[in-house]
Amino acid sequence: MRGLLAGAAMLASAGMVAARAAETTPYHNVRFGFSVEAPAGWIPDQPPENGDGATFRAPDQRAFVAAFGHFVLQSFADEVQGLFAEHDGEVDTLKRSGKDWAVVSGVREDTIFYRRGMISCRGTVWNEVDIEYPASKKKEFDALVVKVAGSLKPGVGAYAGPCR
């Protein structure tokens, strides 16, 4: 009986951690107009002076979410190529793209990365969310990654002009 109770307690505890990990708070970028859900309780870095986005760090500093935008200087294909470019030590496990979006995910040493970008404002703005976290916490972060990455939405930015 004790074993069953201990097992149930562990499952309930894991479920509570996963539920807390999926709690978010809205972030809206005025410059480029995009919005995304940031993890609740994570600490924002000092925002960049140019207002292109924000970075939020887990309280233990072992994970982060960065959301940002920039003007498209060449083409959607070039943006996707930049997103898909492997950085030092990265091994991609997923690469997908659609008409106006792209996703890449993989590992670098003991870290999982997930990057989702989308083109908006009639092809003039790139919006992106990058998430990195310890591979050992994959199960805990699955719900958070789905929620945060799926929440990235384009909008009308102060400097991007009318986009819709």
Kindly tell me if the per-residue pLDDT of 163 is higher than 70: no
pLDDT at position 148: 97
Reported residue count of the chain is 164
pLDDT at position 107: 95
The verdict on residue 126 lying in a domain is yes
pLDDT at position 162: 56
For the chain, give the mean pLDDT.
Answer: 85
The verdict on residue 159 lying in a domain is no
Average pLDDT of 92-99?
93
Kindly report the CATH number assigned to the domain that includes residue 61. 3.40.1000.10
- The predicted model scores a pTM of 0.82
What's the structural domain count of the chain?
1
The verdict on residue 94 lying in a domain is yes
Kindly tell me if the per-residue pLDDT of 5 is higher than 60: no
Q: What SS3 class is residue 163? A: coil
What is the largest distance, in Å, between two alpha-carbon atoms of the chain?
A: 64
The verdict on residue 34 lying in a domain is yes
The verdict on residue 73 lying in a domain is yes
Q: In what order do the strands lie in the sheet with 43-44?
A: 43-44, 53-57, 64-71, 125-134, 111-120, 101-108, 90-97
Q: Which domain holds residue 115?
A: 2-151
Residues 131-144: tens digit of each pLDDT: 999 999 999 999 99
Residues 75-90: tens digit of each pLDDT: 988 998 888 887 888 9
At 101, the pLDDT band (50, 70, 90 cuts) reads very high
Closest CA to 160 of 115, 126, 116: 126
The verdict on residue 156 lying in a domain is no
The verdict on residue 25 lying in a domain is yes
Closest CA to 130 of 62, 42, 52, 68: 68
The verdict on residue 98 lying in a domain is yes
Residues 106-156: tens digit of each pLDDT: 999 999 999 999 998 888 899 999 999 999 999 999 999 999 999 999 877
